């Protein structure tokens, strides 16, 4: 990977952490530039014109090219490494859990963490307040699905850690900050203890 | 691809259509089994135990193995074909738009279509009603992002159609059923006319 890698990030974001964890596990050098999403720093005209027209971080900059979406950035870093399974069905299963993460996990578990920890429940809008309970239930359903899957295996796909584990670890290991109790999910708890034993593992900021 | 392929689907779902469109463009034979999500047919004990513990369609069955998540199933069908770019950065960009689709597009545009066309606005719960306007705004923001991107190119990634186009076509071409007016997005409208010209293209049911 000859081109310089720069991660546009907010260190409080689990989506940014995924990319830093992937880079660390692969010993890939990665510079970072920080933005405060609470101050609207990813919605400035400069950011929208030069980094991501969709106004979101993380964005992985590869030379002069921009790659938004956390799981796509992880994929780019990990192509050809052991973090992506060789076997085609396993590779698709890995992507399955990464899409599950973005569709069924992140919008519930990460969003409730953001609202509870960074916005504050009393500062939420009425539409946000109305979503607290549906997101709580959908988040628990996602955790239950993960727990059932992990009851029979150590890692989400195949016999080794893959990007599926990294993507799901990012917000699961801080789910308590969104008010999620992991006690009913013992297989998740065991898996959460397994991830930090990976060589090169780094903590979230 | 030696193993028999069976798609567990509801033909009204754009997520299921993506997989059928991918298979058609690649001339891959695909059997289908229908479920009525409105009647809870993906929440039966048999479905949860045998097809998908998360209670959702589509699921692509490959021999005896189950692959949920529409975009993962498209990936599995298309590996090694021209629908996935060869160049690593382009391949990651394709995944970027597929994650964008599941995170920023589908939960807004497909959900409003489902609510407006199949549930009926008067039958929505209070939390759902409170989400109508936020989802309308977020859907328009996703469409604006797509339109800006397409102003400079014919396809989402590189110089040919890829899975990114298929994933985004599925619900964009029926966005009007969710009350989205595409008139402000002329580049999307041109792109929507381009997709059906692909050899092997099939309409949504």
Q: What is the pLDDT of residue A1?
A: 52
At residue B94, what are phi and psi to the nearest 5 degrees?
Answer: -60, -45
**The pLDDT value given to residue A30:** 97
Residue A106 predicted with pLDDT over 80: yes
Report which of B143, B156, B154, B149 is spatially closest to residue B185, judged by C-alpha positions.
Answer: B143
Question: What local confidence, expressed as pLDDT, does residue B41 receive?
Answer: 97
Mean pLDDT of A7-32: 97
Residue B173 contacts by C-beta under 8 Å, 6 or more apart in sequence? B192, B195, B204
Taken in order of first residue, the domains within chain A and their CATH numbers are 5-78 (3.40.30.10), 88-197 (1.20.1050.10)
Res A205: pLDDT:
83
- Region B113-127: what's the mean pLDDT? 95
**And the tokens for A185?**
């999910």
CA A68 to chain centre: 13
pLDDT tens readout for residues A42-79? 999 999 999 999 999 999 999 999 999 999 999 999 99
Tell me what the pLDDT averaged over chain A comes to: 97
Of residues B68, B95, B100, nearest to A96 (C-beta): B68
Percent of chain A residues topping a pLDDT of 90: 97
Residue A184, min C-alpha distance to chain B (Å) = 17
Distance from CA of A16 to the nearest CA of B (A): 14
Asked if the Cβ–Cβ distance from B72 to A62 is below 8 Å, we say: no
**What is the residue whose two structure tokens read 């479905």?**
B47
Nearest chain B Cα distance for residue A134, angstroms: 8
Which tens digit of pLDDT belongs to each residue from B91-103? 999 999 999 999 9
* Strand ranges across the sheet with B31-34: B31-34, B5-9, B59-62, B65-68
In chain B, the percentage of residues whose pLDDT exceeds 70 is 100
The structure tokens listed for B168 are 């985004």
CA distance B84 to B86: 7
Is residue A92 predicted with pLDDT exceeding 90?
yes
- The values of phi and psi at residue B61, to 5°, are -95, 125
Give chain A positions within 8 Å (CB) of B65.
Answer: 89
What percent of chain A clears pLDDT 70, i.e. is strictly above it? 100
pLDDT exceeds cutoff 60 at B70: yes
């Amino acid at each position: 990977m000859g081109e310089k890698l720069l991660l546009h990030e907010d260190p409080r974001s689990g989506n940014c952490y995924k990319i830093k964890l992937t880079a660390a596990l692969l010993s890939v050098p990665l510079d970072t530039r920080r933005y405060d999403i609470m101050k609207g720093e990813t919605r400035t005209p400069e950011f929208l014109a030069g980094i991501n027209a969709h106004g979101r971080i993380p964005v992985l900059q590869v030379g002069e090219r921009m790659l938004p979406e956390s799981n796509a950035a992880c994929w780019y870093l990990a192509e050809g490494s052991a973090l992506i399974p060789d076997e085609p069905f396993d590779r698709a299963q890995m992507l399955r859990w990464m899409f599950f993460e973005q569709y069924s996990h992140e919008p519930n578990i990460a969003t409730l963490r953001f609202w509870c920890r960074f916005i504050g429940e009393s500062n939420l809008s009425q539409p946000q307040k109305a979503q607290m309970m549906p997101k709580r239930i959908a988040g628990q359903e996602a955790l239950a699905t993960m727990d059932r899957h992990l009851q029979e295996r150590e890692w989400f796909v195949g016999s080794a850690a893959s990007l599926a584990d990294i993507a799901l670890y990012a917000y699961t290991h801080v789910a308590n900050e969104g008010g999620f109790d992991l006690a009913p999910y013992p297989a998740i708890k065991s898996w959460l203890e397994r991830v930090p034993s990976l060589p090169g593992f780094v903590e979230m900021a």
